[in-house]
Structure 1
Amino acid sequence: MSIEELEEARATSPSSSYSFNSPSTSPTLNTNSNWDQTTNGHSREHSDLTRANLATLNCQQGTDAENVAISNTETGEWNTVSRGRTNRKRSNSTQSFVCVVAWLVKPEDDDVRGNALMEHIQQIRRKYDNAHSRWEPHVTLIPPFLVPFGVAEEGSQEEIGEKNADDAIRQITDPFKTLAILSKRIEAVCASYSSQLIHFGELSKFSLRRYDTYHLRPNQEDALGTLELVNLQNALANVLPEAHEFSRGSISNIKRRQSQQQKPLPPPQQQSLSTSDPIPSSLNGGGAKSMITDNAFKPHLTLGQAPGPIKADEINVLVEPLLLNSSQSVNRIAGQYTGPLIVKMDKIQLFIKPINRSGPYDIFQEFNLR
């Protein structure tokens, strides 16, 4: 299940000349609109501002995670940078965060057609996607999970390296120390995978009880860049086993997490990597040579939800121009740019937000692919 069903997130783009009044007519776009500069969620402008306010994390040994300052651009409740507050030592109370690893789907700045197509997608999402106000178009790689993973015994001052890394990270009470370790793992994986062009060439859907969720996906397993994307997700899942164990998807998981605070945690099913662990050879490169077997990960870009056939027909009509595969560099039908929609994936993001805060996630760190 995608992050949209788990988190009900949304990302807005307020200005456009696009019309949804008549699905039987071809919609028009204001191609001068820069879709990712007008969104509330994680636009380039917002992301750059957020990253500018994030204290740089040094994931080397000796990092004083108490001095890491993260900016909450909405409330400032835990901001010690952008609003001029001085750093101060945190209390012993544990603050929990919801985390997601995802790829924000953004064309290059100079890709006129790509940005016009993304504005088209944003307009569809504003009409039909319950998650549009909190998320830009994205592909979820690791769905929502909670940090910190566990609570150390009262008075314990255990640090990474004093015991097995799998046990140690589960005993850390400071979420920022946990995030620093996870960031190091993600960074190591990304260093082994190269940038890819991803072709979103097919409209598909996930059928749920009350509605269907429509999305764009690569049109086949051997489509441009898709195999490498799937292998990247597999590698991330392998080095972040705790993300599955501590996923935020049900009340039972939260209750289980609370009960785990009262008793020792069992050994993990998969080996996780500490900040100094090498990436296993099976994850180091390999890329497109790996085989896709029964993988639950289906890369997709959510467009919206349709509770019935009328809405489904509307979405189908609006998406049709995105699926055209023109050999021309620029092709227009009725004044509108058409597909193919091909976007370069050259970085992914780790998002976080306090568990009790609504609204968009903050970009905790971006990771470049090689």
Structure 2
Amino acid sequence: MGIEIITVEAAGGRWTAWRDASIRAALKEAARSFRLTIAAELGASATNGLFRAGTPVTIRSNADLLVTGYVDQKQPRFAKGESSDASIVISGRSKAADIIDSSAIHPTGEIENKTLLDIARELDKAGVGFSTDQQLPVIPRFRLTPGESVFSALERVARDQGLALMGEPDGSVRITKAATQRHAGGLFEGRNIKAGEADHNWSNRHSEYRVKGQRPFGSGADALEIEAIARDAGVNRYRPIIIVQDQDTDADRAKARAQNRRDRAAGNSLRCSITTQGFRDDVGTIWTPNRLVWVESDFLDVRQDMLIEGVTFSMSSQGSEAKLDLVDPRAYGGKKGKGNKSGGEWDIGNSPAEVPAQNGGP
């Protein structure tokens, strides 16, 4: 693997000498994060001044942009004596931290007939920036809860639509689902996996997912008794769950919510974390959240495409490595891979959600 050099641009200068460094990016995290330790000389107040809390920073690994954001916290520390030592730890997040920490401000608290992207841009007073790679439905009526953050407001809608709010290297946020892009090569036990652990967990899977809701106007079953059911063919026990839709809905949106909940539960039941040497795949592309990678480990009992949910890049005196948090792609609206060899217990069937007969279904 090639040598990785982490460069931080701040206060008009560039720095590359770090005792250790950690940068994290994840599909379900709107803000990327970082933590860096500087080996400092005792009394070097100039170094302290360069990384004041609130300082804008840009972080790269070689030529690849990783984080654009701000220092949240600075922690200088020293010890005198035989083991005298001085260091400064700086940590922070990408620009999207401002929409996570701050309350949403809107003149009426209500937005009508807009997509999630439109709503995000209307609430983005901090100028973080939003984009999407999806076709988004129009939301008839969106209401803010007083005091909630911009992220919280957007995330509850995204969750209903099976979407994620992912932090980008430039500090903006992308509204997305599981991607179809993949990394070259793969992760193989005995070849390039340094360490790994898996979690095969069925506790949150159900035989059927019933979504119930109402419209804020109208009368009759179409407005007051909306219900949709999605069934998981892989669960052969009676394990139903009811999800109450707390926003305006109709039969189509209820069916989409039921399918999203079923697919996410099935996807989240298969997870693993794998540590590999270096920051890049077989052709030098830096490991990226929301990309697929083939994983093959007999000990972990995983042999299929997995989605990179998060990646933590670490550098120390021991070298550089990446820890990949991986999940079945269906957790984010993706599809089961054609070459899946992890076993039939991960099948959910292909049946779409349906409306019960008493609610106008077949």
TM-score range, shorter chain: under 0.3
Q: Which has the higher contact order (CA 8 A, sep 6+)?
A: 1
The normalised TM-score by structure 2 is 0.27
The normalised TM-score by structure 1 is 0.27
Structure ranking higher in strand proportion: 2
Structure ranking higher in helix proportion: 1
